[in-house]
A and B are shown apart, each in its own frame.
Chain A
């Protein structure tokens, strides 16, 4: 079985642009979570979705939004990019809300 996949692997944007990151969970998993990992720090929780509904939100501005599709894949959108948004964005999937999370390899976003 394929693990969690994320696309793209790397992305370079300029300030003010917007970006869409994509995540495909492990087959059968219904929950997807998004994390931001700035270099040298631990992952910071952004969102958790379960059965297409938002079930948890971290302390991030409204420029960050996400959604989950009927096939349980997910998109993370970031508008009006700032330099400080440069980070590794990790997606994790789990069968249920509180089950073990399996992480994807991440998308490295660089904002210039």
Chain B
């Protein structure tokens, strides 16, 4: 089956690192994504990783992929109050046509 699971809430202090975790079920997924959604706004693609990679770094963002455990994480270094948002993990399975499966989202609270 297709399912993406994430913890619902994360609270960190400004300047600390945030780590948001996700597990997915479809091992055929070629792409795994992290999206950000701010209140009243659409989804913004933050970063993605190919399934044949273990890690990807993009400025303050680090994505780690453990394909064996089907575990994906997003680390935000030096978290700022502007990072407060909902973060969605998503996968694109290679079966059943083209579609993107999203998790329920992790709400990140950044305390000043």
A contact set with B: CB distance below 8 Å: 4, 33, 35, 40-45, 48, 50, 55-58, 90, 92, 97-98, 100-106
B interface residue numbers (CB < 8 A to A): 4, 30-31, 41-45, 48, 88, 90, 92, 96-105
Which residues in A have their C-beta under 8 angstroms from that of B41? 105
Which one of B30, B42, B98 contacts A90 once the chains associate, using CB atoms below 8 Å? B42
State whether A42 touches B88 (Cβ < 8 A). yes
A42 touches B45 (CB 8 A): no
Contacts of A45 in B (CB 8 A): 99-102
Contact B42 A104 (CB under 8 A): yes
**Shortest Cβ distance from B89 into A: residue:** A42
Decide: A98 and B92 in contact? CB cutoff 8 A. yes
Q: Report B-chain residues with C-beta under 8 Å of the C-beta of A104.
A: 42
- Are A103 and B43 neighbours in the complex by a CB distance under 8 Å? yes
> Which among B30, B43, B88 has the highest number of chain A CB atoms within 10 Å?
B43
Return chain B residues, CB-CB under 8 Å to A57: 97, 99
Min distance, Cβ A94 to any Cβ of chain B, angstroms: 10
Q: CB-nearest residue of chain B relative to A40?
A: B104
Closest to A56 in B: B97
Nearest-neighbour CB distance to chain A for B48, whole angstroms, equals 7
30 A-B residue pairings within 8 Å (CB atoms): A4-B42, A33-B99, A33-B100, A35-B102, A40-B104, A42-B88, A42-B102, A42-B103, A43-B102, A44-B102, A45-B99, A45-B101, A45-B102, A48-B97, A48-B98, A48-B99, A55-B97, A55-B98, A56-B96, A56-B99, A58-B99, A92-B43, A98-B30, A98-B92, A100-B48, A101-B100, A103-B42, A103-B44, A105-B41, A105-B42
Q: Quick check: A98 and B98 within 8 Å, CB to CB? A: yes
Closest-by-CB residue of A relative to B30 is A98
